[in-house]
Amino acid sequence: MTERIYDYDSHAMTFSAHVLSCTPKEDAFDIVLDRSAFFPGGGGQDADTGTLDGTPLLEVFEADEIIHHISPQPFEPGHMVEGQLDQETRLGNMQQHSGEHVLCAVLHNRYGVDNVGFHMGSKEMTLDVNGVFGAEELYAAEEEANRVVRADLPFTISYPTAAELKTLEYRSKKELTGTVRIVTIEETDRCACCAPHVMHTGEIGLIKILRFERYKGGTRVYFLCGLKALAMMRMYQEQVYGIDTLLSAVPEDTLAAVEKALAQTNALKEQRVAAERRLIQVLADQAPTGSDPLVLFEDFSDEIMARTYVNLLTARRDGPVCLFIPRNEEKTVFRYILAIRDGSVRPLCKEMNTALSGRGGGSDAMAQGTANATENEIRAFFTK
Ligand SMILES: [Zn+2]
């Protein structure tokens, strides 16, 4: 078994060790050391990254209690090597994972629920517990978890004997066999876990629940700890103050201000629809009757309005109605609706698609599509 330096010193970011073996593996070398500070991954936490004598490791993993360091360079057995961990990643991971232990312990001690799923994502962590909770209960747990952080309680790692384990109460996601590694937070928690942890709860800094939802009969809690939680709060803050500047609001009233702005927008949309309905009726009444194609360029708030307008026009004239609605700012692409009361717009549609790089089609009574042409080009097609 490789001696795990992080069991007694999780802050050892550099270490020296003897090379026990160096085995060629595919295009690289599998290095086994007598001791290592590299965490090989597990319990929801990624393996550490870093270097051996300055050479970046490709992978670190564990098999049969031995930590394997995959290196592009060989190292001679018997020689000493210097290991260097990617410090920021490791400290960040410990802040997140140790914070999860504290939050789980509080939820367990307070409400008797168990952690049935844990995921450390790059943006946030999720914790699944087998109990249904509302905001009040979760925020109470969050406050208590942060009290545990402030108390700066020590984390310790131990490997109890089988006999000791029988009498020991500890949290575990599954039935364990063989050597069990116990992570203890003084006065707070005992949990089976293989990962490196902070030395004291104070290092976690902050435990912040971001949101929660019902999940598989229980609750999924999204949360972050330490510097990542701080960065997330800063992002929220920038968003809220950004909205407040736009809406002349204060943070306490941001939601109400957004609701008010949305209500105003919806009211304006309704007014526009009502005004358009009156307008298309007036325009349709004034449109020329007859059998020449009636070519119109208009913009409408929605598709239904455009088709209603076309229907009003076709009802009162013999010739085809050709409506063009701009599709881009430059007005070089138009959506078209061609319609006729009696007869067919199919031949016109085909001819227009060819002349105006268009595509689309439909029935005898109505065809729809797009034309890649300017208003002038479209008008020229109809006056030729
Ligand atoms: Zn753990």
CATH number of 161's domain: 3.30.980.10
Task: State yes or no: pLDDT of 226 exceeds 80.
Answer: yes
Ligand 1 centroid – CA 244 distance (Å): 40
Which of 33, 64, 85 represents a domain boundary (last residue)? 85
Residue 282, judged by CB atoms within 10 A of its CB (0-12, 13-18, 19+), counts as exposed
Q: Mark whether 69 and 107 lie in a shared domain.
A: no
Range of the domain at 316: 288-383
The whole-number pLDDT of residue 258 equals: 98
Residues 335 and 353 in one domain: yes
Please give the pLDDT value at position 182: 96
Residues 121 and 239 in one domain: yes
CA of 338 to the centre of ligand 1 (A): 66
Distance 34 CA to ligand 1 centre (A): 25
Q: What's the pLDDT score for residue 44?
A: 87
Alpha carbon of 298 to ligand 1 centroid (Å) = 63
Query: In this structure, is residue 269 part of a structural domain?
Result: no
Whether 125 and 73 share a structural domain: no
Residue 351 reports pLDDT greater than 80: yes
Largest CA distance in the chain: 101
CA of 360 to the centre of ligand 1 (A): 60
pLDDT tens profile 111-164: 999 999 999 998 999 999 999 999 999 999 999 999 999 999 999 999 999 999
What is residue 45's DSSP assignment?
Answer: B
Last residue of a domain, one of 57, 85, 113: 85
Judge if 233 and 94 occupy the same domain: yes
Question: Is 45 within 8 Å of 14 (Cβ atoms)?
Answer: no
Q: What are phi and psi of 70, to 5 degrees?
A: -95, 120
How far away, in angstroms, is 125 Cα from ligand 1 center?
Answer: 13
Rounded Cα distance between 211 and 341, Å, is 57
- Per-residue model confidence (pLDDT) at position 290: 87
User: Among 136, 141, 135, 139, which Cα is nearest to 112's?
Assistant: 141
Interval between CA 186 and ligand 1 midpoint (Å): 15
Same-domain check for residues 98 and 81: no
pLDDT of 384 reads: 78
260 assigned to some structural domain:
no
CA 355 to ligand 1 centroid distance, Å: 69
In 3-state terms, what secondary structure has residue 206? coil
CA 86 to ligand 1 center in whole angstroms:
20
Query: How much distance in Å is there from the Cα of 43 to the middle of ligand 1?
Result: 6
Question: Does 252 reside within a domain?
Answer: no
Instruction: Work out the angle at residue 382's Cα, subtended by the Cα atoms of residues 380 and 383, and round it to the nearest 5 degrees.
Output: 65
- Please give the tally of structural domains in the chain: 3
pLDDT score of 177 more than 80: no
Q: What pLDDT, on the 0 to 100 scale, is given for residue 88? A: 95
Interatomic CA distance for residues 274 and 31, integer angstroms: 76
> What is each CA distance from 379 to 164, 207, 324, 347, 361, in whole angstroms?
91, 66, 10, 18, 20
| The predicted structure's pLDDT at residue 101 | 97
Q: Domain end: 24, 50, 85, which one?
A: 85
> 44 C-alpha to center of ligand 1: Å?
7
Do 306 and 207 fall within a single domain?
no
Going from the Cα of 42 to the center of ligand 1, the distance in angstroms, rounded, reads: 9
pLDDT at 341 over 80: yes
Range 332-345 average pLDDT: 96
Q: Residue written as tokens 């001679």?
A: 76
Ligand 1 centre to CA of 104 (Å) is: 10
Q: Across residues 257-272, what is the average pLDDT? A: 96
Q: What is the pLDDT of residues 300-319, one digit of tens each?
A: 878 889 999 999 999 999 99
Assess whether 215 and 135 both reside in one domain.
yes
Tell whether 73 and 160 lie within a shared domain: no
Q: Tally Cβ neighbours within 10 Å of residue 250.
A: 11
CA of 4 to the centre of ligand 1 (A): 16
> How far does the centroid of ligand 1 lie from the alpha carbon of residue 352, in Å?
68
> Is residue 112 domain-shared with residue 237, that is, in the same domain?
yes
Cα(201)–Cα(148) distance, integer angstroms: 7
Question: For the whole model, what pTM was predicted?
Answer: 0.80
Helices (H), 316-374: 346-355
Q: Collapsing DSSP states into helix, strand and coil, what is residue 350?
A: helix
Angle formed by the axes of helices 226-247 and 87-111, nearest 10°:
90
**Domain containing residue 7: CATH number:** 2.40.30.130
Cα-to-centroid distance, 41 and ligand 1 (Å): 11
The answer on pLDDT for 173 being more than 80 is: no
CATH of the domain at 340: 3.10.310.40
**Rounded mean pLDDT of the chain?**
95
Instruction: Please give the Cα distance from 106 to 196 (Å, whole number).
Output: 20
- Residues 355 and 305 both lie in one domain: yes
Residue 44 φ/ψ region, left for φ over 0, alpha for ψ in the -120 to 50 degree band, beta for the rest:
left
Expressed in angstroms and rounded, the spacing between residue 319 Cα and the centre of ligand 1 is: 76
Q: pLDDT tens across 63-91, in order?
A: 999 999 999 999 999 999 999 999 999 99
Q: Which residue has the tokens 């168990």?
A: 114
Q: What is the pLDDT of residue 301?
A: 74
Rounded CA separation 310/183 (Å): 73
User: How far, in Å, from the CA of 31 to the mean position of ligand 1?
Assistant: 26
